[in-house]
Amino acid sequence: MPQQRQCGRSRSLAIYGLLLELYPRTYLRRHREELLQNFQDLERDSPSTAALWCFILKDMAVSLRSEFIRTFWGQTMVVFMILSLLLGIAHRHPGKPEPYIWSCFFGYALGWFAGWFGRDWRMSSSSRFPNFVRSFRGQATMLLCVITIVLTTSALFPDLQERLVLASCYGAALAWFSGWWKNYRRMRL
Amino acid sequence: MSKAKSAGPLTPAVFHILLALYRRERHGYDIMLQVKEDSRGQVKMGPGTLYGSLDRMIGAGLVVESNKQDPRRIYYKLTALGQAALRAESERLSSVAAMARRHLGAT
């Protein structure tokens, strides 16, 4: 009987090892060994295999979502789900709003990418980038460059003018909001 | 201290982890057991949730890894900021509880 239980335990551990592959790579690199050891401890102290798996699956449902949402691909998926929803709504109600929804689509994607890379850049910029880029003059220069690019593109492609300006406005607003929200979340843990 | 206070209310998971690590470094499973005991079984933290929270707490400077010799049993301990955050949160909870008692007593 103890041998049978030991065999059952090994199977549970093997299954858990496979399920761990669902977690993001960076998380697993840091914690795989600890998670497996932790599972063995839980298994040892658990009253039954069913209770153990009930606890583990509930934990995985919560933590997988939480960890996946923090990855680049998790964020991308959320953004594109929102945008697909917007476009779906626009298609169900055809008419005037569609161009604006497309502008929103481009703007949202632009703002989100800006927010994501801006955050990464800020967190790693102190040693890699010169101080000028972080200064007011550096930031103002970059802003002027972006405005120049938008205006030049608008002049070259007049049909896209309205969409470009709208996308830029949405992009700027969303980049700012995204940065603010990230800071807020970091403070809240 | 002011930085700990400005962090605002902590989530129950973070608060319980800080409490479990107060004055003693622990590894993951030990933290889980201590949290369960401190909360009288009301907070049951699984391994996936625990290590995610620990990562974010390390990022926020509340906790550090203290002993990494055995990768299966990494020990964690509070930083000075973590202790300050724990004290600030305890004070906040005490004042909220005191206010609630006053309101309930008045009715």
Q: Are residues A16 and A88 in the same domain?
A: no
Whether residue A101 sits in one domain with residue A49? no
Residue B46 is nearest to which of A33, A34, A63, comparing CB atoms?
A63
Same domain as A128, residue A98: yes
The total number of structural domains in chain A stands at 2
Interface check B65 vs A, CB under 8 A: no
| Amino acid type, B84 | A
Beta strands of chain B (E only): which ranges? 26-27, 63-67, 75-78
- The number of residues in chain B equals 107
Write down which residue in A68, A87, A121 finishes a domain: A68
Quickly state the pLDDT bin for A93 (edges 50, 70, 90): low
Of B11, B52, B71, the CB nearest to A63: B52
Q: Are residues A107 and A183 in the same domain?
A: yes
Single residue among A15, A36, A68 that ends a domain in this structure: A68
Strand partners, B77: B64
What is the structure's pLDDT at A140?
A: 73
| Separation between Cα atoms, residue A58 and residue B13, nearest integer Å | 15
Domain range for A58: 2-68
Structure confidence at residue A75 as a pLDDT band (50, 70, 90): confident
Mean pLDDT of chain B: 88
Q: Do the Cβ atoms of A107 and A177 come closer than 8 Å? A: no
Q: Write the DSSP assignment of A50-86 as a string of letters.
A: HHHHHHHHHHHHHHHHHHHTTSHHHHHHHHHHHHHHH
- Residue A74: is its pLDDT beyond 50? yes
Region B20-39 average pLDDT? 93
pLDDT in tens, A9-65: 578 999 999 999 999 888 999 999 999 999 999 999 988 899 999 999 999 998 998
* pLDDT score of A7: 52
**How high is the pLDDT of residue A1?**
42
One domain, residues A8 and A53: yes
Amino acid present at B73: R
Q: What is the mean pLDDT of residues A95-123?
A: 65
Residue of A nearest to B4 (CA): A187
Into which CATH architecture does domain B2-106 fall? Orthogonal Bundle (1.10)
A124, A92: one domain: yes
Are A61 and A86 contained in the same domain? no
Q: In this predicted model, which residue has the larger pLDDT, B78 or A130?
A: B78
Q: Are A106 and A138 in a shared domain?
A: yes
Which of B3, B5, B36, B51 would best serve as a mutation to test chain A binding (most A beta carbons within 10 A)?
B51
Same domain, A27 and A115: no
B41 touches chain A (CB under 8 A): no
CB burial string A6-30: b at 16+ within 10 A, e below: eeebeebeeebeebbeebbeebeeb
Q: Which of B11, B14, B48 sits opposite A63 (nearest CB)?
A: B48
User: Could you give the CA distance from residue A53 to residue A46 in angstroms, rounded to a whole number?
Assistant: 10
Identify which of A31, A41, A186 has the shortest CB distance to residue B51: A31
**Which residue of B11, B18, B50 to mutate against A (max A Cβ within 10 Å)?**
B50
Q: A105 and A147 share a domain?
A: yes
Pairs of CB atoms within 8 A across A/B: 74
Phi-psi group of A95: left, alpha or beta (phi > 0 → left; psi -120 to 50 → alpha; rest → beta): left
The partner residues of B75 in beta bridges, in order of sequence, read: B27, B67
Burial (Cβ within 10 Å: 0-12, 13-18, ≥19) of residue A62: middle
The answer to whether A37 faces chain B, any CB pair under 8 Å, is: yes
A44 plus A100 within the same structural domain: no
pLDDT tens-digit series, residues A127-186? 445 566 666 777 677 777 777 777 777 777 777 666 666 676 667 666 666 666 665 665
Tokens of residue B13, six digits: 């998971």
Q: What is the reported pLDDT for A101?
A: 65
